[in-house]
Structure 1
Amino acid sequence: MGATGGSVNAAAAITSDGMVIASVLQPGVDPDRFAAMSASLLALAEREIDEIQRGDLRQLLIEGTRGAVLLVQAGDDAVLAVSTEPGALMGKVFLEARRAAGEMKTCLEPT
């Protein structure tokens, strides 16, 4: 999380159907519930982008007053969820999350 200047405070690799592959989350956050909610949000966003004919979904950004959550596709069956601190350099977070999602996709591909 140092690659983003300390602005990322949690991350999870999840399947598209909401199962946890791996996670490092804040204390008190239930990984299974977080994964299920992330998968639901992503599925809804995919239907929305399809409905308005904008191609394939690449990412979804949810901003709150105390930070943001970025969901990035990592292949057809996985998602990388990244939580940021307020004031995060989002351009850098986007770049690093996309890079990590690409590596995650490669690791999860069948051999």
Structure 2
Amino acid sequence: MHEAEVRVELERLRADTPGVAGAFATSPDGLVLAADAPDVEPDGFAALTAAAAAVGVRLTGAAGQGDFRELLLRGDAGGLALYPAGEGCVLTVLAAPGADLPGLRPEARACATRIARHLSPADAQAAPSQPV
């Protein structure tokens, strides 16, 4: 794994995309791969991310909706979105209050694709955004 490169991608997403308050790259089993999210405890958050992504995978499969592609959650003070980033990673994007959460999708998916390439170049070239 290339943790430094993944962290750079997260930092770039937050710096270059209005409305992004932070980002995490986590493994499907709940380990932090890289984080750029001030004021969020990374280990506990990574475990919750893994659980949410697993539910997303199971729900889309059970409903016959194909592979998991994203999960959007909104709260009173912002929102977050989860995206698969290759076989072994989930990208979680934290949105600031008032941010257009679906509008962050193009930049977040592009970031997920780059992260997948950093984590597994051969797999990312064959399929840039596989389900978790």
Moved over 6 A (4+): none
Task: Please say if residues 4 and 92 of structure 1, whose CA atoms lie closer than 8 Å, have aligned partners that are also in contact.
Answer: no
**Does residue 4 in structure 1 map to residue 17 in structure 2?**
yes
RMSD of aligned alpha carbons: 1.3
Greater share of helix:
2
How much does 1:92 deviate? 3.6
Structure 2 gap ranges (5+) = 1-13, 123-132
**Does residue 59 in structure 1 map to residue 32 in structure 2?**
no
Structure 1 gap ranges (5+) = none
2:91 to 80, 86, 89: 80
Equivalent residue letter for 1:70: A
**Counterparts of 1:1-111 in structure 2 under 5 Å?**
1-5=14-18, 7-27=19-39, 29-109=40-120
How much does 1:88 deviate? 1.0
Equivalent residue letter for 1:108: L
Share of identical aligned residues, percent? 36
Task: Please say if residues 4 and 89 of structure 1, whose CA atoms lie closer than 8 Å, have aligned partners that are also in contact.
Answer: no
Greater share of strand:
1
Equivalent residue letter for 1:84: A
